[in-house]
Structure 1
Amino acid sequence: MTASTRIRPPLVGLGLVTVAFLAYALPPYLGLDPARSRVPTRADTWFHYPLLVTHILLGTVVLVTAVLQLWPWLRRQHPRVHRWSGRIYVSAAIPAGLAALVVAPLGAFGLNQRAANTMLALLWLGTTVTGYVMARRRRYPQHREWMVRSFALCFSIVVNRLWTTVCTIAFVPDPSDTAALEQAIGVGTWLSWVVNLLIAEWWLQHTRHRRTKHRVPPREMAAAA
């Protein structure tokens, strides 16, 4: 495998983590049995479980296509595949985000978690739609940056379990303390996407600086010509 086709270790790690997460999170919803749901369902709201399943199944498509979108070699060597996987990503992300926007206020772990998930859904929809519009207008640098933000928000679900576990261990000494548990889960939910978004912004700033540093000044380009 040449340097141009080599899959970088971070992308390999992201792919493996995504596969492991889906293998854990997806199976309980394939049988469409509310009793197996890992998320507490609202028996008093008939549309809660159907929209939850819609969000999870479409989210699976989103995660898989997002990994493909982040592969630089695929983007450079097979732009048609990149474009189609991007279209699939957007086509799945928008209804998945809308479903999340309806389900988020019905969360079982208090106002803090509901607010975090609602804001996540709004930002995910906003960044995804903006990224798509930038592509349609052929403003590809802006398209790339908005989609990086969309991917960062999308992958918050993968790290959510980690953050909620850490916050529960740190802030809930008594497992029977329901109020403390709700707050810990809420804080973990905020961290799961805020930290991702901050990392994405840092990476975007870093790559902008690197491109600017290596850019040839117009005067030198003219001299070279």
Structure 2
Amino acid sequence: MTAADDRRRLLFMVTVEPKPATRSRAKIKPPLIALMMLVVAFLGYALPPYLGLDPAQARTLPPTGVSYYYPALVTHIFLGSIALLAGCLQLWPWLRERYPQVHRWSGRAYVLSSVFGGLAILTVSTVTYWGPNQQAANTTLGVLWVLTTIAGYVKARKHRYAEHREWMVRSFALCFSIILNRAWTTVCTVFLVSDGNDYAQLAQAIGVGSWLSWIVNLLVAEWWLQHTRVAKRVR
């Protein structure tokens, strides 16, 4: 075999054989599968009472005399559902690499639903039934969700994709609080409420749960982003 034959054989191997890293990215990782299953299960539980647009079926107590509360609540719930589903697609590396056009359109769906879903939170957050603590938590959440989403979108438009990714991770962490809010509220109710008929105790527990539902998510997201930055520097 001549030297030219060796070069052709090497060129063929480099061109044809897939890289191991590409094969690994093509797989759906177990954490992403678990995340998708959790989102679908949550939506299957949370959405049905609102599909008929009947205020009497709402799980959230409306404040007295606030006519716009239910329409804004339903808007937030529907847009939040779209954001959760679109966010899961955005986290799927194989979809991003194999079908970038789908990634872009699901990204646009995420941005629009997150921004207007966040604004819907701000519409109702100051009049929620459980008082100032929950109102402050939900208002802060709405502001941060809108701002982080817009920041991620702006970075993408400037082709600063590493920063875009980090801001969208923060945005989705805030979006995901809608799922964990129930869990944190349950935990806080168990530890902070001794009398289930005491409004003040319930309001305090629900307010603390509302804060924890997004603060913990954001802290975990920041830890993960820092961890991935360090891992990249080490490599």
Interval containing the TM-score (normalised by the shorter chain): over 0.9
Matched, 1:42 2:42: no
Q: Which runs of 5+ in 1 are unaligned?
A: 215-225
Shift of 1:43: 4.2
Match of 2:33 among 12, 19, 28: 12
Match of 1:109 among 130, 135, 141: 130
* Other-structure match for 1:145: 166
Matched, 1:98 2:119: yes
The answer to whether the 8 Å contact 1:68/1:82 transfers is yes
Q: Structure 2 counterpart of 1:201, which letter?
A: E
Report the secondary structure of 2:60's partner residue: coil
Query: What does the per-residue CA deviation read over 1:32-69, in whole Å, with 9 as the maximum and x for residues that have no partner?
Result: 00000011123411111111111111111111000000
- For 2:118 and 2:138, the matched residues in 1 are separated by 10
Over alpha carbons, which structure has the higher Rg?
A: 2
The answer to whether the 8 Å contact 1:128/1:150 transfers is yes
Report the secondary structure of 2:53's partner residue: coil
Matched, 1:173 2:166: no
Q: Structure 2 counterpart of 1:213, which letter?
A: V
Match of 1:56 among 68, 77, 91: 77
**TM-score, scaled relative to structure 1:** 0.92
Q: Which runs of 5+ in 2 are unaligned?
A: 1-22
**TM-score, scaled relative to structure 2:** 0.89
* Other-structure match for 2:16: none
Match of 2:228 among 197, 203, 207: 207
Q: Structure 2 counterpart of 1:22, which letter?
A: L
Report the secondary structure of 1:109's partner residue: coil
- For 1:186 and 1:164, the matched residues in 2 are separated by 8
Give the count of matched residue pairs. 213
Aligned alpha-carbon RMSD (Å):
0.9
* Other-structure match for 2:49: 28
Report the secondary structure of 2:156's partner residue: helix
Percent of pairs with identical residues = 59
Shift of 1:93: 1.1
- For 1:4 and 1:111, the matched residues in 2 are separated by 46
